[in-house]
Amino acid sequence: MLDSPQAIQRTLSSAVENLEFGREEAALEELQRVLQADPGQRLALSLMRQIKEDPQTLLGRESFSYQVKSGESLSAIAGRFLRDVYMFYGLARYNDIKVPRQLAGGQTIRVPGKAPPPGGAVTVPAPSPTPALAPSPAAAPVAAPAPTAPASAAAPAPAPAAESKSAQIARLQREARTAFAAQDLVGSIAAWDKVLAIDPDNRNAQLERQRAADLCRRLNDLTKGPKKAC
């Protein structure tokens, strides 16, 4: 039985790594242990769905062809097109890829959804911190414009309101996940550190920072040149 948030975090990180190497049974056992300790753990529930559900039911039948760039991972592609770097295993199953880590540059895969405009840059939307997208809040009513004062009598513009704690966290989460999707692991770690400085008990931030740091260290082990500061 996992008896602490740290133990759950370590087990989740191990499950993600096992899925990256195609060790589905080992990951399944770890995810079951996490859900016994915390039945509502969102990432564990998402990964379980990716293992058990039909990938076309999970991600949709509409898809487009995509040629993998050199050094690109399924996590990066999932972050770019599916808004969730952890949807890599569902994307792997969608393409009958048994070992996500074995993705090769130049390989052609199918990506769920509609193809981006030809030559157009893909905008990465703000990822949801949960596997399911949160419902959009109702649009605020549009206020009538204030009368324009003559230039000579114009009052100075009010100072912008200070960013709220929740807004800071949301912005930094977007920065961290966008950096991870672009394989900027050092930038991702730095952004997660800022989140944890504001909210030290943020479990998603703890988990995703550890994943970025683990990946950074593994890449350092494989690199002969200068090492990244993980």
**Tens-digit pLDDT profile for residues 96-137:** 999 999 999 999 999 999 988 775 444 444 344 434 333 333
Residue 133 lies in a domain: no
Residue 148 lies in a domain: no
pLDDT at 228: 66
What string of DSSP letters covers 46-69?
A: HHHHHHHS-HHHHH-S-EEEEEPP
Average pLDDT over residues 187-207: 85
Neighbours of 73 (CB within 10 A): 19
Q: Is 108 in a helix, a strand, or coil?
A: strand
Residue 132 lies in a domain: no
Average pLDDT over residues 206-218: 81
d(CA 198, CA 171): 12
Are residues 70 and 105 in contact, defined by beta-carbon separation less than 8 angstroms?
yes
Number of structural domains (the chain) is 3
Are residues 112 and 59 in contact, defined by beta-carbon separation less than 8 angstroms?
yes
Residue 48 and residue 72 in one domain: no
Ranked by mean pLDDT, the top range of 45-49, 159-163, 188-192 is 45-49
Residue 124 lies in a domain: no
Give the tens place of pLDDT for each residue, 84-95: 989 999 999 999
Domain hosting 22: range is 1-52
Strand partners, 157: none
Residue 127 lies in a domain: no
Neighbours of 170 (CB within 10 A): 15
CATH code (residue 77): 3.10.350.10
Residue 37 and residue 62 in one domain: no
